[in-house]
Amino acid sequence: MLLLPVALALSLWALGSGMVLLHVYRAEIFIMAEVRRHGLVMDLLLILLWFAAPYLLLGIFSAWTARGLRKMTRHPQAPGWLDGLLGSAVLVAALVMSTLVAMVERPALLAGFFYLKGGWRRWVQLTVEDLFTPAALTRIAVGGAGLLLAAGAMGWWRHASRRTRRIAVVIAVASIFLVAASMLLKGAAPRPARDGRPNVLLVLIDSLRPDRADPASPLALPALRDLARAGVRFSDVRTPVARTYPSVASLLTGLHPLRHGIRTIYPAADRRILPEASLPRLLATAGWQTAAVGGYCATVLRGLDAGYAIQRTPRSEASLMVSAVALAAHPLLPIWMRTPALRALYPQMRTVVEGSLAMDVADEAVSVWRSSEAPFFMTVFFDNAHLPYVPNWPETLAAGDYLGPNRYSITAGSLVEKVRAAESAPGVRGRVEERANALRLYQGALASVDRALGTMLQKLAEDGLAEDTVVIVLGDHGENLLDAGGMLAHGLSLERDRSNAVPLLMRWPGRLQPQVVTTPVSVTDILPTLLDLLGLEIPAGLDGRSQAGHLQGEEGEFDAEPRLFLQETGLWFFAREVVAELAPGEEGLVYPDFPDGLLTVESGSPPHVVLAPQHVRAVLRAKHRRLEAGPWALVYRPAGDGAHFSLYRQDQDPWRAQDLAAQEPARLHELMDIFYQEARRLGDSDLLPPAPGVIFSP
């Protein structure tokens, strides 16, 4: 009967695995046929097989503890079934305790099993949330496990032979020594930067809006606000495409997406290898140790093959996309996500969106730089603020009396129905409530990231590195929160939209004076600016421009003429719906929707999810474009009869809601001319001519 807890643990593993497989085949996974064709189901089965290991170990621990406890009693020869029952009770208690900790710490991950089911399960999650904190539950769990372990060990000790005791003492002493040594090594600060070379810490925060880093804004977060005050804040920064892959590629290369070729979030293999002049490769060549750390959105830092020597990011192949969908259905996944060793052993868990814990990313970043032998260049990517907006504890407590489906994160489809209804439609109260909750979730998710950022910067100071580290913080893109009648998310539109706007903060104590730079800049400027500040050669042919002169109070060579910025929309997963809302009355260009063959799995080892080759041209032709020239912005919208244009004075209308094309025909035609010239200069070969009725002579 001693095997009963082991059998119970493996039965729970089998039950969870069965739920995962059932979820995979019931869910409308858009690439399921491709998944089968490429044998990725076998990958999923192997993942589930690997997951049996922690269940097996937990079962063995429970059985061992139960037997030791029984030997401590006055009846060491009690029936074997008692061991089995006691071991099973220990197993269940361990699982329940770990689940309660995860329920408070990562509530979005368990909401599908508890809160969203309603009834007693909803009551359980809400009650646990009200009564406990992660720290309190962790102390109870660790204390209980320690007592069980000690009691079990004492039981074994009382009935063990002298030889067994000697072996146990040797093992215990060796274990204590190894643990102490590892803690000392982990806590050791890295060597100071040598030869005057500073460390570089580049922090990317997904979907970060500029107002959350502006000290004058009531919505600014504490760590971001303090960093903005202590260093340089660029107040007018944009990214060419408000999507992660194109934006990060532009950041790391200093090139426009039309130049580096990554214009969607599903680039083909031949596009994912960045040039030798990427920022990580350039700094590695100059002697920096390069590293990338992050959660599920940080797949971009590995998928782009940018040249990071150390990767603490998820892999980006197709099997992980499938496993992320599948593992989210595993009822005991949160237990394993809390353990750093298991997260390292099972990197697939990093891809589960609802499991994002910003402090995990910060802790891992600190661990990596403390093991650095040379000045480091590290990119740290936080993703909680990306849809579905996943706050961590204690930010989750701000939900208050809201009991809708989006209490812990935005659930697919539930927000769209209420938020996008007209103001006069029925259910306006529900719409307002959902909008307020979406804002709360976004702010809470960012607050969780901000707390982790503050901890990371504090550790940098404690390690004696703050004075000799260039810290750069920015968003990969911004976020729309239903502002000015616009949409939720990013990269969908270029009108009633500011998701191309991002904050940019830089701090280098003693070298950069606190200031606000109002000069319009692009994320492509970061590479040349950083290289300039570090005294390294700037590669030729970049689209970005060094802003080091502005930081040092000099006049830039480009100040005389307004700088041109060309931007475009991202990939629309539901093109027909988006286009109908963006341009009602125009026959906008569309392509297949997300589940209807838009994506495929690329052959290769390992296979990646990519935009289906037959739809690439249609996707690129359908993109809206925007030209910014000084205070003016021209928006290009392709349609069946040609290109339609809108004109905005963005210094007076930052959300670009009032079209001035009819009032400013001369300005319109001037900017149309400039737009076509600039787009063609960058290599855009998918432009349409103006629609009939638009007076234009290119």
- Asked, for residue 118, whether it belongs to a domain, the answer is yes
For the segment 243-259, the average pLDDT, to the nearest whole number, is 96
Same domain for 433 and 361, yes or no, is yes
Ranges 413-417, 504-508, 571-575, 693-697, most confident:
504-508
Residues 569-587 as b or e (16 or more Cβ within 10 Å = b): bbbbebbeebbeebbeebe
CB atoms within 10 A of CB 459: 19
DSSP result, 569-587: ----TTHHHHHHHHSTTS-
Same domain for 450 and 493, yes or no, is yes
pLDDT above 50 for 401: yes
pLDDT above 60 for 425: no
Mind listing the pLDDT tens digit for each residue in 545-558? 999 988 876 654 44
pLDDT recorded at residue 634: 97
Same domain for 179 and 220, yes or no, is no
How far the first Cα of the chain sits from its last, in Å, is 86
| Confidence grade of residue 25 (pLDDT, cut at 50, 70, 90) | low
- Asked, for residue 349, whether it belongs to a domain, the answer is no
pLDDT recorded at residue 76: 57
Mind listing the pLDDT tens digit for each residue in 375-397? 999 999 999 999 889 888 888 87
- Asked, for residue 319, whether it belongs to a domain, the answer is no
pLDDT above 60 for 186: no
Q: How many Å apart are CA 478 and CA 504, to the nearest integer?
A: 11
pLDDT recorded at residue 24: 62
pLDDT above 70 for 93: yes
For the segment 25-47, the average pLDDT, to the nearest whole number, is 57
Sequence letter at residue 467: E
pLDDT recorded at residue 421: 39
- Asked, for residue 373, whether it belongs to a domain, the answer is yes
Both tokens of 221, joined, read: 């977060």
Same domain for 536 and 644, yes or no, is no
- Structural domain total, the chain: 3
How far is it between the farthest Cα atoms of the chain?
A: 100
For the segment 676-690, the average pLDDT, to the nearest whole number, is 94
- Asked, for residue 527, whether it belongs to a domain, the answer is yes
Which one of 134, 154, 187 terminates a domain?
187
For the segment 256-270, the average pLDDT, to the nearest whole number, is 91
In 217-281, at which residue ranges do the beta strands (DSSP E only) sit?
A: 232-238
pLDDT above 50 for 533: yes
Residues 233-266 as b or e (16 or more Cβ within 10 Å = b): bbbebbbbbbbbbbbbbbbbbbbbbbbbebbbbb
pLDDT recorded at residue 14: 80
- Give the percent of the chain with pLDDT over 90: 41
pLDDT recorded at residue 244: 95
For the segment 498-508, the average pLDDT, to the nearest whole number, is 96
Mind listing the pLDDT tens digit for each residue in 193-218? 556 799 999 999 999 999 999 999 99
pLDDT recorded at residue 336: 61
For the segment 529-544, the average pLDDT, to the nearest whole number, is 95
Same domain for 140 and 283, yes or no, is no
Beta partners for residue 567, in sequence order: 626
pLDDT above 60 for 574: yes
pLDDT recorded at residue 411: 72
Same domain for 386 and 272, yes or no, is yes
For the segment 567-592, the average pLDDT, to the nearest whole number, is 82
Same domain for 262 and 168, yes or no, is no
Q: How many Å apart are CA 280 and CA 297, to the nearest integer?
A: 18
Which range (352-361, 402-411, 464-473) has the least confidence?
A: 352-361
Ranges 137-141, 332-336, 470-474, 571-575, most confident:
470-474
Q: Is the peptide bond before 240 cis (omega within 30 degrees of 0)?
A: no
Which range (43-57, 105-119, 266-280, 406-420) has the least confidence?
A: 406-420
Reported as type and span, the H/E element at residue 365 is: helix 358-370
Which range (55-59, 180-184, 361-365, 372-376) has the least confidence?
A: 180-184
| Confidence grade of residue 698 (pLDDT, cut at 50, 70, 90) | very low
Name the DSSP class of 501: E
Q: Are strands 564-568 and 625-629 parallel, antiparallel or unpaired?
A: antiparallel
pLDDT recorded at residue 560: 53
* Phi and psi angles of residue 16, each rounded to the nearest 5 degrees, phi first: -60, -40
Sequence letter at residue 534: L
| Confidence grade of residue 144 (pLDDT, cut at 50, 70, 90) | confident
Mind listing the pLDDT tens digit for each residue in 280-338? 999 999 999 999 999 888 888 988 888 999 998 887 766 666 666 666 666 666 566 66
Which one of 535, 567, 599 terminates a domain?
567
Which one of 166, 187, 208 terminates a domain?
187
pLDDT recorded at residue 429: 42
For the segment 423-428, the average pLDDT, to the nearest whole number, is 37
Q: 479 in helix, strand or coil?
A: coil
Contacts with 449 (C-beta within 8 Å, 6 or more apart), sequence order: 205, 358, 382, 384, 385
Same domain for 563 and 588, yes or no, is no
More confident residue, 80 or 570: 570
pLDDT recorded at residue 156: 65
More confident residue, 85 or 351: 85
Q: How many Å apart are CA 370 and CA 679, to the nearest integer?
A: 45
pLDDT recorded at residue 310: 92
Residues 346-373 as b or e (16 or more Cβ within 10 Å = b): bebbbbbbbbbbbebbbbbbbebbbebe
- Asked, for residue 194, whether it belongs to a domain, the answer is no
Same domain for 154 and 222, yes or no, is no
pLDDT above 60 for 502: yes
Reported as type and span, the H/E element at residue 24 is: helix 4-26
Both tokens of 663, joined, read: 């009032």
pLDDT above 70 for 415: no
For tokens 């403390």, name the residue: 370
Checking phi first, is residue 474 left (phi over 0); if not, alpha (psi -120 to 50) or beta?
beta
Same domain for 169 and 30, yes or no, is yes
| Confidence grade of residue 75 (pLDDT, cut at 50, 70, 90) | low
Q: How many Å apart are CA 469 and CA 588, to the nearest integer?
A: 48
Q: Are the beta carbons of 360 and 341 closer than 8 angstroms? A: no
| Confidence grade of residue 422 (pLDDT, cut at 50, 70, 90) | very low
pLDDT above 90 for 454: yes
Tell me the pLDDT of the chain averaged across its residues: 82
pLDDT recorded at residue 179: 59
| Confidence grade of residue 506 (pLDDT, cut at 50, 70, 90) | very high
Same domain for 562 and 572, yes or no, is no
pLDDT above 50 for 633: yes
For the segment 146-164, the average pLDDT, to the nearest whole number, is 70
For the segment 479-505, the average pLDDT, to the nearest whole number, is 86
pLDDT recorded at residue 500: 95
Both tokens of 130, joined, read: 């009200």
Same domain for 124 and 214, yes or no, is no
Cα distances (angstroms) measured from residue 206 to each of 386, 675, 685: 6, 29, 30
| Sign of the C-alpha dihedral computed for residues 311, 317, 322 and 325 taken in this order | positive
- Give the percent of the chain with pLDDT over 70: 76
Residues 62-81 as b or e (16 or more Cβ within 10 Å = b): bbbbbbbbbbbeeeeeeeee
What CATH number is attached to the domain comprising 615? 3.30.1120.10
- Asked, for residue 147, whether it belongs to a domain, the answer is yes
pLDDT above 90 for 233: yes
Cα distances (angstroms) measured from residue 75 to each of 65, 67, 69, 70, 630: 16, 12, 11, 7, 86
Q: How many Å apart are CA 449 and CA 384, to the nearest integer?
A: 7
pLDDT recorded at residue 17: 74
- Asked, for residue 276, whether it belongs to a domain, the answer is yes
pLDDT recorded at residue 416: 47
pLDDT recorded at residue 94: 79
Q: Are the beta carbons of 314 and 321 closer than 8 angstroms? A: no
Chain centroid, CA 216 distance in Å: 27
| Confidence grade of residue 488 (pLDDT, cut at 50, 70, 90) | confident
What CATH number is attached to the domain comprising 215? 3.40.720.10
pLDDT recorded at residue 427: 40
Name the DSSP class of 588: B
**Residues of the domain holding 240:** 199-295+356-567
Mind listing the pLDDT tens digit for each residue in 592-622? 877 677 888 777 667 778 888 999 999 999 9
Q: How many Å apart are CA 248 and CA 241, to the nearest integer?
A: 10
